[in-house]
Amino acid sequence: MTKYNPNNERIKQQYLRYLKSARGRSEQTLDTVAKALYRFEVSTRFRDFRRFHVEQAIAFRRTLGEATASPETAKR
């Protein structure tokens, strides 16, 4: 079961709806955005978006830099 924060999910739902309806983004783009937001939430341990702090974003970027490629990708 995927973990989630209900308040964040509502905000994400509205944002994805905006991207689709107002900005005309494709379904693949929405999937990518949803996945990226999920990765950010994992790094903040699903804290409420309303309690957003710059430090969370900085820490997230650091984890992205530290993320190592899977053994299959590293071979290429």
Partner 1 sequence: MKRQKGRSNRHRIKALRNYTIAETSLLVGVHRRTVREWIKRGLPVLDQKRPLLIHGSDLKSFLANRKQRRKQPCQPGELFCVKCRTAKVPAGGLADYIPISPTRGSLSGICPTCNAIITQWTSLARLNELKGKLDVKTLTRQPRIVDPLVPILNCHLEATR
Which residues contribute to the site for partner 1 (CB under 8 A)? 1-2, 4, 6, 9-10, 12-13, 16, 30-31, 34-35, 38
Q: Enter the tokens of residue 20.
A: 């689709």
Which is nearer to partner 1, 10 or 53 (by Cβ)?
10
We find the least distance from the C-beta atom of residue 1 to partner 1, in angstroms, to be 6
Which residue is associated with the tokens 């590293």? 74
We find the least distance from the C-beta atom of residue 18 to partner 1, in angstroms, to be 14
Which is nearer to partner 1, 7 or 53 (by Cβ)?
7
Please state the φ and ψ torsions of residue 44, each to the nearest 5 degrees.
Answer: -95, 5
We find the least distance from the C-beta atom of residue 12 to partner 1, in angstroms, to be 7
**Helix and strand element counts for the chain (H, E):** 4, 0
Whether 6 and 46 have beta carbons less than 8 Å apart is answered as no
